[in-house]
Amino acid sequence: MSALLHGTGTSDVAGSGEAGRAAATAALAGLAGAEPALVVVYASVRYDLPELLAGVAAVTGGAPVVGATSSGHFVGRELSAPGTGVVVLALAGGGYRFGVAAAHGMSTRPAEVGAEVVRTARAAAGEHDLPHAALLLLADGLVGGQQQVVAGAHRAAGASVPIVGGVAGDDWRLSSTSVLLGDRALTDAAVGVWIASPRPLRVVSAHGWTPVGPPQLVTRAEGTSIHEIGGRPATDVYAGAVDVQEAARRGVSHGEAVEESSYALGVIEPDGSHLVRAIYVGPDGSLKSFEPVATFSAVQLMSADRPALLRVVDDVARAALTTGEETVLLTFDCAARQTILGDSIGEEVDRLQTAAGAATCFGFYTYGEFARSRGAGGVHNATLTALAL
């Protein structure tokens, strides 16, 4: 198998078209004259997105273009904070075949959107005899239905096809996110890339969160609102559990400085693993999550500090690089991790690239991460996911 060629480019100039052209020009320079087979774009919502994509297309020609708006993004050791810039990845060769597609209607028919993306993207990859595949999935971040999209994609793709990707961000504005296909910025939509491969593709994820409380049952929930846990108000249960943990942690420190911890809920999967759900108290006083937690879900309080979140970076990179011949590590990192790590976020990006070695890390900060290779779920929060090509 020939090596996968790749090039990357970034720009933070103010002009949308100029930024797109500059980043795409730098990315294509890495292909040594080869025609790009796939172009991936992550950008701040501060840009005029159609104008930005027109600038990219002016350089990349007819190559398929996909992407998403972000809350920051990175390539190698170079980090762009929320609200700044655009980053472009161009791929060619390597024995892969790529097919791209989009589907609308996540807010009303999310499972159908996931299935439609798979069917259309798989067909767009054309005829081939490559035995393996994976789906790169990007979705609008503010319309909900993420888990149903993954479920629909999983049913259409089959259990042997892993799914990786992320939910679009908008620089923490929480007003409008977009996925990108060709020259269009789409809302209420998902975009997929069918990746046909000569070798098995492995999706990995890790979060660094640890259960610190006993399992409890969600006894009343509606959408993203968790009203009761164990028959008691969910906000009271959560606040009380956090208070107990904080008292215990600071008590064993004997007055020494204690690394600040963050807390979340972990939904217990059938295999015993946890899907992390970042939570907050909403205006109506209910406990809110960014993804729905179903009534009768078993949950545990989860805790993580900065060292714990950083430790998983090495594991994710090394587990994704299965052959040692991969050249690109596609990475999806939660914006919640970005907030928790604070000034350490640069250390995370640097550590990720160090662990990736010769492979180039390319990723963005998401409002949710897709990683489905086993288990019932596929949508994560406060988690790092990756796929190496």
**Percentage of residues of the chain with pLDDT beyond 90:** 72
> 187 near 176, Cβ under 8 Å?
yes
What average pLDDT does this structure show over 369-385? 82
> 205 near 385, Cβ under 8 Å?
yes
Report the mean per-residue pLDDT for the chain. Answer: 92
In terms of residues, how long is the chain?
389
pLDDT band per the 50, 70, 90 thresholds, residue 361: very high
Full-model pTM: 0.91
**pLDDT value at 120 more than 90:** yes
Q: How far apart are the first and last CA of the chain?
A: 12
**pLDDT value at 253 more than 50:** no
**pLDDT value at 188 more than 80:** yes
What average pLDDT does this structure show over 24-30? 97
Sheet holding 189-197, edge to edge: 97-104, 189-197, 132-139, 163-167, 369-372, 379-380
Rounded Cα distance, 37 and 56, in Å = 14
**pLDDT value at 257 more than 50:** no
Question: What integer pLDDT is reported at residue 377 of this predicted model?
Answer: 66
Which range, of 8-12, 151-155, 320-324, averages the lowest pLDDT?
A: 320-324
Task: Give the torsion through C-alpha atoms of 55, 163, 297, 288, to 10 deg.
Answer: -10
Rounded Cα distance, 180 and 191, in Å = 7
Per-residue pLDDT reduced to its tens digit, 39-57: 999 999 999 999 999 999 9
**pLDDT value at 340 more than 70:** yes
Per-residue pLDDT reduced to its tens digit, 66-106: 999 999 999 999 999 999 999 999 999 889 999 999 999 99
Alpha helices in the chain (DSSP H): 16-29, 49-60, 110-124, 146-157, 234-252, 306-320, 335-341, 345-356
| φ/ψ (deg, to 5) at 115 | -65, -40
pLDDT band per the 50, 70, 90 thresholds, residue 151: very high
**pLDDT value at 254 more than 50:** no
Rounded Cα distance, 35 and 25, in Å = 13
* Three-class HEC string of 229-248: ECCEEHHHHHHHHHHHHHHH
Question: Long-range contacts made by residues 292-295, C-beta under 8 angstroms, separation at least 24?
Answer: 292/144, 292/147, 292/221, 292/223, 292/224, 293/218, 293/221, 293/224, 293/226, 293/265, 293/267, 294/218, 294/221, 295/218, 295/219, 295/220, 295/221
